[in-house]
């Protein structure tokens, strides 16, 4: 038995309060309902496209992969290609590598990793109102070093890079 007790909408996510029976005991549980996300591993002339962007959650500028929310009804690959172009000005064709559950204990969404092996630079970005992003190209080895030295800290982006590492070794997919 699962009963919805309350739901609050905070624009970028909703919180659902649920009453459920687990092991014969009634309890209150919470779900964070968010849209699915996409992380993009994209290369331009053999170099990884990365971004530096201020993030309110950690209150600092961090190094990340291009990424974003998949709009309602939008295909995963189309979302990745759109987000890459909007945020970086680079354009290319993607392929789906994986799907992850960001935090299945409380979140309902999925995070997808899309690979775009070669891009062209259009020189035109279309960032959202509150996005301030600087784009960089770096060898993959530098991105790996940035993970080790703590410059690259977004856990889901690190997981996407690890999935790409497995893909390169033909251990993934």
Q: How far apart are CA 50 and CA 135, in angstroms?
A: 6
User: Are 158 and 152 spatial neighbours (Cβ–Cβ below 8 Å)?
Assistant: yes
Which segments of 23-167 are extended strands (E)?
Answer: 25-33, 37-44, 47-55, 60-64, 67-69, 90-91, 95-100, 111-116, 120-121, 133-138
Predicted local confidence at residue 131, as pLDDT: 82
Predicted local confidence at residue 153, as pLDDT: 94
Predicted local confidence at residue 173, as pLDDT: 52
Q: How far apart are CA 94 and CA 33, in angstroms?
A: 26
Low-confidence ranges of the chain (pLDDT < 70): 171-173
Q: How far apart are CA 161 and CA 44, in angstroms?
A: 16
Predicted local confidence at residue 85, as pLDDT: 97
Predicted local confidence at residue 100, as pLDDT: 97
Predicted local confidence at residue 12, as pLDDT: 86
Pairing of strands 67-69, 37-44: antiparallel
Cα-to-chain-centroid distance, residue 59: 18
Quick one: DSSP state of residue 85?
H
């Amino acid at each position: 038995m699962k009963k919805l007790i309350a739901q609050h909408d905070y624009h970028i996510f909703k919180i659902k309060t649920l009453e459920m029976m687990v092991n014969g005991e009634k309890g209150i549980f919470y779900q964070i309902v968010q849209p699915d996300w996409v992380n993009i591993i994209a290369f331009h002339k053999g170099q990884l496209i990365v971004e530096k962007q201020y993030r309110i959650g950690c209150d600092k500028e961090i190094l990340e992969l291009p990424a974003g929310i998949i709009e309602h009804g939008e295909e995963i690959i189309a979302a990745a290609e759109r987000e890459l172009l909007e945020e970086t000005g680079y354009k290319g064709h993607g392929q789906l590598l994986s799907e992850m559950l960001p935090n299945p204990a409380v979140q309902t969404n999925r995070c997808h990793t899309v690979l775009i092996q070669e891009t062209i630079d259009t020189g035109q970005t279309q960032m959202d109102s509150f996005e301030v992003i600087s784009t960089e190209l770096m060898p993959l080895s530098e991105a790996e070093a940035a993970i080790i030295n703590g410059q690259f800290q977004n856990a889901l982006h690190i997981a996407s890079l690890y999935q790409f590492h497995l893909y390169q070794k033909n251990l993934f997919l």
